């Protein structure tokens, strides 16, 4: 540890690990926030569907209140919902390489079966009783 070169190397290695770990945490946070939004959107859509009459409704988007027609509001929300869904799967996809990178830096073995493609439900039936 007295060797300054060695100490610097260790320090930079630890910093590198910390950066990757931070990235993972922020992606996790992103997924949670997106899911929160997704669920709120879903709730709003359901509430609008229950509204019988096709009159105008107040819609709060971000910091703004809009008065729009019911059908238009539902359309806007469902569009939002789709975008959010795609965003969540995108974030999940980025999470995997990040975790792999962290494990690599920590000199741990790669997770087994991490990169496999999941079986389809039909395919799963043939081995269902085993799993």
CB-CB contact of 56 with 69 (8 Å): yes
Structure tokens at 95: 């999470």
In the list 5, 67, 116, 122, the residue contacting another protein (rule: CB under 8 A) is 116
Structure tokens at 78: 């469902």
Query: Per rule CB under 8 A, is residue 108 in the interface with another protein?
Result: no
Q: How far apart are CA 23 and CA 19, in angstroms?
A: 6
Query: Per rule CB under 8 A, is residue 93 in the interface with another protein?
Result: no
Q: How far is the CB of 86 from another protein (least distance, A)?
A: 14
Contacting positions for another protein (CB under 8 A): 28, 31-32, 34-36, 38-40, 42-43, 46, 88, 92, 112-119, 121, 123-124, 126-127, 129-131
């Amino acid at each position: 540890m007295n060797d300054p070169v060695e100490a610097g190397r260790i320090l930079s290695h630890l910093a590198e690990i910390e950066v990757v770990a931070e990235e993972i945490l922020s992606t996790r946070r992103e997924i949670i926030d997106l899911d929160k939004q997704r669920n709120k959107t879903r709730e709003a859509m359901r509430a609008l569907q229950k509204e019988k009459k096709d009159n105008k409704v107040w819609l709060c988007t971000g910091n703004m209140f809009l008065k729009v027609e019911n059908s238009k509001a539902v359309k806007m929300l469902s569009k939002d919902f789709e975008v959010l869904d795609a965003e969540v799967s995108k974030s999940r996809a980025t999470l995997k390489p990040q975790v792999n990178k962290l494990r690599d830096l920590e000199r741990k073995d790669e997770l087994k079966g991490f990169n496999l493609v999941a079986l389809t439900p039909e395919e799963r039936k043939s081995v269902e009783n085993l799993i």
